[in-house]
Amino acid sequence: MSAPFIAKRPPPDFVLCTDRWTQPFWDAARQHRLVAARCASCGRFRMPPTPFCPNCRSQDIHWSTLRGEGVVYSYTVVSRAVLEGMDQHIPYVPAVVSLPDADGVRLISNVVDAPIDSIRVGSPVRVVWDQISPHVVVPRFTLIV
C-alpha cells in the first residue's frame, strides 16, 4: 500500500491587489485573524466585501473576527503541473469553505496538509496561516480530525 497523497500548498505566485473594501481582510490576515465583512446597518455578512450591501445598500461595514473554523463546501484536486515550476506543489486542493459563524458565507482558499483521500464535501476545517511574502499572509484550511 502506498503512502497517501498529502495536499500541498499551491504555488506562491500570488499578486495581492486590494482596495478599500478588501484591505481590512488582508490586514487582519497578517495578524492571523480571519474576518468577514458584515453590514453595519442590517447585519448581513457579505463576502467578498462589496461597496454596497446587497440587502440594504448601505456602505457601512463592520469586520467580525471569526473562530477560523469552516466546512468544505466544494473542492477539486490539481494533480498536473500546467506551468513550469509547479511540480513541487502538486497535488494541491483549491476549495470553497463555508464559514458557519458568518452565516455560511464562503471563502475560496485551499485545503492543505491533509491526506487527499480524507477530504470530503462537508469536512470540518480550521484556518492555518501561510506567510507567502514579508507582507502577505494567506488563510488556508486543514482538516479537523
| Residue 53 binds Zn ion (CB under 5 A) | yes
The H or E element spanning position 39 is strand 35-39
d(CA 37, CA 64): 6
Min separation Cβ 125 and Zn ion, Å: 28
Only one of the segments 9-17, 56-64, 123-131, 135-143 lies at the binding site for Zn ion (rule: CB under 5 A); that segment is 56-64
Q: Which is nearer to Zn ion, 29 or 53 (CB)?
A: 53
d(CA 86, CA 63): 35
Among 13, 18, 23, 42, binds Zn ion (CB under 5 A): 42
Among 18, 31, 56, 118, binds Zn ion (CB under 5 A): 56
Only one of the segments 31-39, 72-80, 83-91, 100-108 lies at the binding site for Zn ion (rule: CB under 5 A); that segment is 31-39
Restricting to residues 57-86, name those near Zn ion by CB under 5 A: 58
- Cβ(101)–Cβ(109) under 8 Å? no
Alpha helices in 2-136 (DSSP H): 23-30
Q: Which is nearer to Zn ion, 9 or 44 (CB)?
A: 44
d(CA 109, CA 59): 26
d(CA 89, CA 12): 9
SS3 label, residue 102: helix
Min separation Cβ 55 and Zn ion, Å: 4
Among 41, 50, 64, 98, binds Zn ion (CB under 5 A): 41
Q: Which residues bind Zn ion (CB under 5 A)?
A: 39, 41-42, 44, 53, 55-56, 58
